[in-house]
Amino acid sequence: MDSIQLKLCDIQGRLFERSTAYGSEGFIRDFMNSEVARHLDSPYNKLQWMGEEYLLDELRDEKSLTQDGEKYNPEVLYWIGYLYRYWASSRGEASSRIYRKASAKTMKRNYLAFHTFDPDIAIDDLIEINRQKQRA
């Protein structure tokens, strides 16, 4: 991961951290399946340099975000957003596909165990959890 990719991880983490006005599961689902996320997944897109406030405005324009539902702790939200972007950048996987493997609930459930891990190890463990779930 280069410094630019790590900066994008931080921007997405801050975006998720700022989403506390919305139900967290709905916000995360909507973001990970949005055009905004698809643009961030691309090798280069101008949205990557707009900052979290602009990205939140773009997402509001695209999706009908709801305030309903549980609101996760901002630290948990930051970690989820950061790790999702790290996963997309380091593994070349689309946000929508990552979300199908590790939903908001899965990420929240594993936060306490994984948030101190190296991101690559946390991602490997989340992939393994998904594999085991698929086999069951």
% of the chain beyond a pLDDT of 90: 75
For residue 51, the model assigns a pLDDT of 80
Distance of alpha carbon 12 from alpha carbon 82, whole angstroms: 6
For residue 45, the model assigns a pLDDT of 58
Residue-wise pLDDT for 4-50, tens only, equals 889 999 999 999 999 999 999 999 999 999 999 999 998 775 656 67
Residue-wise pLDDT for 76-93, tens only, equals 999 999 999 999 999 999
74-86 burial code (b ≥16 CB/10 A, e <16): eebbbbbbbbbbb
DSSP code per residue over 21-58: GS-HHHHHHHHHTSHHHHHHHSS--GGGGSHHHHHHHH
| Cβ pair 99, 105 in contact under 8 A | no
Answer yes or no: pTM beyond 0.85: yes
Q: Tell me the domain boundaries of the chain.
A: 3-135
For residue 46, the model assigns a pLDDT of 61
What is the distance between the terminal CA atoms of the chain, rounded to a whole angstrom?
A: 34
